[in-house]
Amino acid sequence: MAGYDFNSRVRGALIKAREDARRRHHEYVGTEHLLLGLLAEEDTLVVDVLENLGARPINLQIAVEQMLTEGRPTGRIQTPDLPYTARARVVLDQAISVAHEFGDGYVGTQHLLLGLIREKQGIAARAMTAAGLTEPELLREIVRLLQGEGVAAMIDVPKSQSDTQVPLSIAVEVHYGDGSMAKKIFSSKDAAIGFLRDKPRE
């Protein structure tokens, strides 16, 4: 994936993913190795996101390992750069896409984490889904930790209908004595109530 600015944490995760694949005598780097490499990097943001959503990294690692089949030594010398599987390449492409969506000029661990679950079909995505993780929840928690609750709430589509939120606009119909009617738009509930309270009676 030359030409893309992976930060040091992501580069470390990719190195650990390759090492994990070699240790298991696999001749490829799959989504499972990418997730294990990311967890082994022990990035604070990733750890906080997972634990805040109730998915302990160690449990996620165990879940991935239970899905793996260990390879057998072949006696052949493995190439220095093991090839990425098609699904692993999708993960990296999705991580780059997420970075673009965020407007970031680099690919960080948060982008890789979202890329892993976006792929949907690989071992990593299946383990994450089995742990109760979803892409919207991961996205919201990442944004919350990086940019604050206010920004996260704006993109939290599944919870946008909660009782604590105020509509973005309120329309008030005003009827006049001559039978005409006009509609006024207010950006807050207080403004609408204030207008109705102060409006002179016809």
CB-based contacts of 63-72 (< 8 A; 24+ apart in sequence): 63/127, 63/130, 63/131, 64/32, 64/35, 64/36, 64/123, 64/124, 64/127, 65/36, 67/32, 67/123, 67/126, 67/127, 68/24, 68/32, 68/123, 70/24, 70/25, 71/24, 71/25, 71/26, 71/27, 72/25
Residue 38 pLDDT > 60, yes or no?
yes
State residue 43's pLDDT score.
Answer: 93
Residue 169 pLDDT > 70, yes or no?
no
Residue 189 pLDDT > 60, yes or no?
no
State residue 198's pLDDT score.
Answer: 58
Residue 74 pLDDT > 70, yes or no?
no
Q: Mean of the per-residue pLDDT values for the chain?
A: 81
For the chain, give every domain's residue range: 8-159, 166-202
**CATH code of the region 8-159:** 1.10.1780.10
Antiparallel, parallel or unpaired: β 170-175 and 181-186: antiparallel
Residue 15 pLDDT > 50, yes or no?
yes
- pLDDT above 70 covers a percentage of the chain that reads 70
- Average pLDDT for 21-40: 94
Cα separation, 198 vs 202, whole angstroms: 12
